[in-house]
Amino acid sequence: MRAKLYIAIIFLLLFCNTLTSAFAVEEADLNKKLEELATQYGITDKEQLESLKIQVLSILKTRERFSFSTLNKPCRDDIERLCSDSGNISSTLMCIKDNREYVSESCENALGNEFGGNPLLHAEVYNGVEMPKGSYFFYNPNGKVLGVIASKNFEYKGINFKKGQIRFHDFGISVGQLVSDQYINGIKYSVDGIGPFFNKEGEIENATLAENSEIAGITYKADSQIQFYSIGKVKSGTVAKETTIQGQTFMPGELIWFKKNGEIRSF
């Protein structure tokens, strides 16, 4: 049950990061998502639900304080001018974010690093990916785009991505969440679990299988994580049935690691 709580916390924090109010999360939204996650992970005990809520709120409040301390110096004058009536850190962050068009350049740069850019007024292409209107980019401290919060589901290279956080590398998408289970290069990947992550060639390098899948003569287990060096060249995977490879026998559910040359990797 502790593992379920941990997973629920991670997914809830990812949800909170996609809210346009940044870290200022409406409690009603939080409770609604919490109930959905509780149902999904079979958490029914009221004390555990309350524990989950307390943990998430504690983390969010800590992040709010960190954000405020980051913005306090570059945005001090703007906060005093625009948000002097705000009664607490949450409302101050909400206020300064809602008034971005009126802040100084130094404050806007700090807001961009902390919360991402302003929502796109129209669809915009970045690294070959067309992002929908209303999406907004987020950046590292040096101002480089790290990713985007997509305002709605979108398609890229035949793959349907879910709205929310998308990460980039220099050649396209590095990671995003699928809208539903779907086939990519002949393999069906799950909407749940880790990934998919993509390499610079646009190939899957890490994802969760939606069904038992045969790759290069080996059947890998549904709902397990699989890693690739390149298309069809597995780095690691969990076998679905008893399998003998290179003279070694692996039982169902056992994880296998391969070297780049295809030899089994020993630890």
Mean pLDDT, the chain, integer: 83
At residue 208, the 3 state secondary structure works out as strand
- Region 168-175: what's the mean pLDDT? 90
Cα–Cα distance, 262 to 187 (Å, whole number): 20
Cα–Cα distance, 204 to 197 (Å, whole number): 6
Work out how many domains the chain is built from and give that number: 3
Q: Say whether pLDDT at 229 is over 70.
A: yes
106 plus 124 within the same structural domain: no
Cis geometry, peptide bond prior to residue 132 (ω within 30 degrees of 0): no
> In terms of Cα–Cα distance, which of 19, 13, 22, 17 is closest to 97?
22
Query: Residue 211 is part of which domain span?
Result: 180-267
Q: Say whether pLDDT at 233 is over 70.
A: yes
pTM over 0.75? The answer is no
46 plus 125 within the same structural domain: no
Within 10 angstroms of residue 182's Cβ, the number of other Cβ atoms is 16
What pLDDT is recorded for position 40? 63
The answer for residues whose C-beta is within 8 angstroms of residue 129's C-beta and 6 or more apart is 156, 166, 168, 172, 173
135 plus 195 within the same structural domain: no
**Are residues 208 and 195 in contact, defined by beta-carbon separation less than 8 angstroms?**
yes
- The amino acid that residue 203 corresponds to is E
- Region 238-264: what's the mean pLDDT? 92
- Region 218-235: what's the mean pLDDT? 92
More confident residue, 135 or 86: 135
**Are residues 200 and 170 in contact, defined by beta-carbon separation less than 8 angstroms?**
yes
What pLDDT is recorded for position 224? 93
77 plus 129 within the same structural domain: no
pLDDT band at 18 (very low <50, low <70, confident <90, very high): very low
User: Which residue stretches of the chain are H helix?
Assistant: 2-17, 27-40, 46-72, 76-82, 89-98, 105-115
- Region 145-161: what's the mean pLDDT? 91
- Out of 133, 151, 173, a domain closes at 173
Cα–Cα distance, 201 to 210 (Å, whole number): 23
The tens digit of pLDDT for each residue in 62-106 reads 878 888 888 989 999 999 999 988 778 888 888 988 888 899 988
162 plus 228 within the same structural domain: no
101 plus 9 within the same structural domain: yes
> In terms of Cα–Cα distance, which of 213, 129, 124, 111 is closest to 174?
129
**Percent residues over pLDDT 70 in the chain:** 83
**Are residues 209 and 221 in contact, defined by beta-carbon separation less than 8 angstroms?**
yes
pLDDT band at 56 (very low <50, low <70, confident <90, very high): confident
130 plus 62 within the same structural domain: no
Q: Identify which of 4-8, 17-21, 203-207 has the greatest average pLDDT.
A: 203-207
Distance of CA 138 to the CA centre of its chain: 13
What pLDDT is recorded for position 10? 52
99 plus 126 within the same structural domain: no
DSSP letter, residue 102? G
**Percent residues over pLDDT 90 in the chain:** 40
**Phi first, then psi: what are they for 249, rounded to 5°?**
-105, 130
Q: Say whether pLDDT at 147 is over 80.
A: yes
76 plus 138 within the same structural domain: no
